Amino acid sequence: MSRYLLSKRDVEDLVVGAAILGTGGGGDPYIGKLMVLQELERGKRVEIVGVDEVDNDSFIVPVAAMGTPVVLVEKIPSGKEALFSLNLLEKYFNKKVEFISPIEAGGVNSTIPLVVGAERGLPVIDADGMGRAFPELQMVTFHLYGIKATPMAISDERGNAAILDTIDNYWAERIARVITVRYGGSAWIAIYPTFGKPYKEAAVRGSISLAIEIGRTLREAKAGGKNPIDALLDLVHGFELFRGKIIDVQRFNIGGFARGEAVIDGLDDYKGSRLTIRFQNENLVAIRDDDIIASVPDLITVLDIETGRPITTERLRYGLRVLVIGIPCNEKWRTPKGLEVVGPKYFGYDIEYVPIERRMKEVGRP
């Protein structure tokens, strides 16, 4: 189905799937859900279109929230805040936006584009720029394909706004980040304005429908008395990485990011082992005892062992019993250029990236 209207049940499923793809980042999926349900209850429609529905010369603008997710929890947004940035950028280009796109899959950044689409009556493309969530603006497949982050608009909930035009996407990240911090920790952006042709080449396709499918798979497995985790891992070709109890969480907000680590003591098969997850908004690496068993750009997601629900980095806390899973990232990230942008070295880990399916074979269970 290449064009469809989002139902309330789709929204419920989508936010669960988006939180799993979000690998700990993207903010609270519950807030994201409320945003979209509110739109639907007010009679607005959220139309999702497949990438192939987009003409080569269609003007597309991704929208998102930027900042430390914990701030988004404190200042509950409606999702409409990003509309201001979108409208500003549209005025700057003097060109009508035809499609909205998510920039990442994860938390509120999966749902903000839906709210903006609903408010503006514009379809949202079933794709994104990551197939997961990442903490920095240049960490999108659009960047890998030479699409410029700027001109971009960045606004706050007070009505402050800026249009940035930088020499490269790293500079866009640098400038937007200090503005976000000065705004108070979160900002609303319209970024990577582009056209259908380059978009189709660069985007990660099907992220919205995948998120919905993940949520539905979990829901149906539970309802059918099946093991939801097995069903999930089957769907996303994922791996169980660890089971355990969180015994320590350290976090510090530095440079506009929520950085930190969680230490998990093994349970069941993993008794006697320890897993450390390091994060920067999103989970970056999982270290079991002395071995790195998963790293960016592959996805590392922490689930509540009881409910199977994904736990975002800002919700990690002492005592939670969790199941950690790993999911292979989109192939675009596994290219040399992709790894240069989001590989472990970029994040300061002096290791080579090894695809998770290979690591799993090499390391095995403890």
Binding site for a copy of itself (CB under 8 A): 88, 92, 158-167, 171, 174-175, 178-179, 181-182
The CA-based angle 140-143-146, given to 5 degrees, is: 155
- Which CB sits closer to a copy of itself, 171 or 347? 171
What is the Cα–Cα distance from 175 to 76, expressed in whole angstroms? 24
353 C-beta neighbours (distance < 10 Å), count: 21
Q: How far is the CB of 277 from a copy of itself (least distance, A)?
A: 30
Q: Which residues contact 22 (CB under 8 A, 6 or more apart)?
A: 29, 104, 105, 106, 107, 109, 110, 132, 133, 282, 301, 310, 312
Residues facing 275 on adjacent strands: 264, 288
What is the Cα–Cα distance from 284 to 288, expressed in whole angstroms? 13
Residue whose token pair is 């049940």: 9
Residue whose token pair is 């292979």: 328
What is the Cα–Cα distance from 202 to 141, expressed in whole angstroms? 6
- Which CB sits closer to a copy of itself, 159 or 272? 159
- Which CB sits closer to a copy of itself, 56 or 160? 160
- Which CB sits closer to a copy of itself, 38 or 253? 253
- Which CB sits closer to a copy of itself, 153 or 293? 153
Q: How far is the CB of 155 from a copy of itself (least distance, A)?
A: 9
Q: Which residues contact 56 (CB under 8 A, 6 or more apart)?
A: 195, 196, 197, 200
- Which CB sits closer to a copy of itself, 174 or 219? 174
Instruction: Determine the residue type at 128.
Output: D
- Which CB sits closer to a copy of itself, 38 or 166? 166
Q: How far is the CB of 26 from a copy of itself (least distance, A)?
A: 25
- Which CB sits closer to a copy of itself, 42 or 158? 158
Q: How far is the CB of 189 from a copy of itself (least distance, A)?
A: 13
Q: How far is the CB of 156 from a copy of itself (least distance, A)?
A: 9
Q: How far is the CB of 229 from a copy of itself (least distance, A)?
A: 44
Task: Tell which residue, 317, 255, 216, 294, has the closest CA to residue 23.
Answer: 294
Task: Tell which residue, 101, 107, 111, has the closest CA to residue 134.
Answer: 107
Cβ atoms of residues 334 and 344 within 8 Å: no
Q: How far is the CB of 185 from a copy of itself (least distance, A)?
A: 13
Q: How far is the CB of 88 from a copy of itself (least distance, A)?
A: 8
Cβ atoms of residues 16 and 228 within 8 Å: no
Q: In this structure, what DSSP letter does residue 176 have?
A: H
Question: Token digits for 290?
Answer: 């002395």
Which value, in Å, is the radius of gyration of the alpha carbons in the chain? Answer: 19
